[in-house]
Homo-oligomer: A and B are copies of this chain.
């Protein structure tokens, strides 16, 4: 599978955003309520991961008197629908910019600018899957998160 989202390349981020939002509406219909939609829009504003409390703060700055569970619920919903991903290493969340094509995502996290690229991977064929099979371990989900420096941040 190829790279499916390109924060580290020049791209038309506005269409990047509107496409993802359109796909979200298609997937969720009614269930994309106001708060959920607003949180998704926040995540889509950039390719930087947001913590739950970042989201909460933004909601509050918009006049919503929200408590932590509001942010977590919205994020949990988006993750469950495949519209967002949790980045374990950052305790934070990014929007999925290609929910329709996203099956087994892996992430490239720039430790300097905090942008996160989503790439696809083929876990069924890798060394990990082979080892798991040899042990009789049944993999249900794999977290793959690489940290490093994006092209921009390599040249200070």
- The reply to whether B148 and A88 form a contact with Cβ atoms under 8 Å apart is no
A100 at interface (Cβ–Cβ under 8 A)? no
Knowing A119-B128, A119-B131, A142-B146, say if A108 contacts B137 (CB, 8 Å).
yes
Knowing A131-B119, A148-B132, say if A139 contacts B108 (CB, 8 Å).
yes
Give Cα A143 to B88, complex, Å.
9
Q: Is the interface of A mostly helix, strand, loop or mixed?
A: mixed
Residues of B within 8 A of A151 (CB): 135-137
Count of identical protomers in the assembly: 2
A154 at interface (Cβ–Cβ under 8 A)? yes
Q: Which 3 A-B pairs have the closest CB atoms?
A: A136-B151, A88-B88, A140-B148
| Sample (10) of A-B pairs whose CB atoms are under 8 Å apart | A108-B128, A119-B132, A120-B127, A136-B151, A137-B150, A140-B148, A140-B149, A142-B144, A142-B146, A143-B147
Given A89-B143, A137-B151, A140-B146, 20 further pairs, Cβ under 8 A: A88-B143, A106-B131, A108-B137, A119-B128, A119-B132, A120-B127, A121-B127, A122-B127, A132-B148, A135-B150, A135-B151, A138-B148, A139-B146, A139-B148, A141-B147, A141-B148, A142-B145, A142-B147, A143-B144, A144-B144
